Structure 1
């Protein structure tokens, strides 16, 4: 049995993700407590509360990686970017009207992708990414990544993402994020 075979990836809609919130929360809290994120327990609780409020979205998708014993090792989730999104408004340099155009299906927003430290370097992040995007019908994928997360930025670039700008989140004290885009049309 290969190492890759010891981890199963489960695709989920919002209802299934709600049942797996404990696993998603555990992964989030562990991964984002590490540098460069340095999130606190309160940050993780707030992130899980926000996630819970998003599970009702019709286009919500998640992928959860677990060992054969059921231990959660990685997760990814997101949804289609709605026409009234403020995502583009956070860019420090505006982009063209065509780039900003959203119809609720054109762009998939990758909100989080995380793999626990002992499981990194085994291709799990890529498998989560592929499972999350498989069959979603979007033309492109949009994400924000903290520039200090060198491994994440390098992985996204290796998967074909390109940087299209910098965003400064609306919340006070929010760190700038690198905004990346992946064209799925080939």
Structure 2
């Protein structure tokens, strides 16, 4: 594990972030999710540089970038549930009589979270989520965790998130656990 000699800076972006930030985020996203246990396509992952800014520009869009020595080492990205039809469909399938508390216009989705491997275990992910969820108008947060990453699900559980349900994605090849947290988050 890498020792951090300088402070980590957290910058919150609302609506827009510079292209150079998105370039670094795309590289980090690829290195995090093309590796096991995810093994996703690097070219598909790199497309965050195209769709990420659209999510950031949408209602509830927020990006938190963690930097060390002027390099992005972690990030978290959100948007509001009413802006993402695929997430609404997942929740509808899991919760046929949707909990009245999970209202799309009052729920934020933690779309992505990644920390450079050499910086994991230093609280950077938690601080990114803390910054992402602070001072929000929404009442709830949801996020998805792939079934092949049980340690990530356990991390969120330790942070107070609870499971709403599961669904199959990617043509039924991956189980997605959907987790929930009431806001404000006090972890």
Q: Which residue of 2 aligns with 1:15?
A: 16
Count of residue correspondences: 182
Matches within 5 A, 1:35-184: 35-67=36-68, 69-82=69-82, 85-90=85-90, 93-99=94-100, 102-104=103-105, 106-169=106-169, 171-172=170-171, 175-184=174-183
Q: Which consecutive unaligned segments of at least 5 residues does structure 1 have?
A: none
Q: Does the 8 Å CA contact 1:4/1:122 hold for their aligned counterparts?
A: no
Once residues 33 and 42 of structure 1 are traced to their aligned partners in structure 2, the CA distance between those partners, rounded to angstroms, is 9
Q: Which consecutive unaligned segments of at least 5 residues does structure 2 have?
A: none
TM-score (ref. length: structure 2):
0.85
Which aligned runs of 4 or more in structure 1 are off by greater than 6 angstroms?
Answer: none
Q: Which residue of 1 aligns with 2:30?
A: 29
**Cα deviations by residue, 1:43-80 (Å, 9 ceiling, x for unpaired):** 2123433223323213210100110x211110100111
TM-score (ref. length: structure 1):
0.85
Once residues 4 and 127 of structure 1 are traced to their aligned partners in structure 2, the CA distance between those partners, rounded to angstroms, is 18
Once residues 47 and 174 of structure 1 are traced to their aligned partners in structure 2, the CA distance between those partners, rounded to angstroms, is 22
**Cα deviations by residue, 1:12-32 (Å, 9 ceiling, x for unpaired):** 123125451111101101100
Once residues 86 and 100 of structure 1 are traced to their aligned partners in structure 2, the CA distance between those partners, rounded to angstroms, is 19
Let me know the Cα RMSD of the aligned residues.
Answer: 2.4
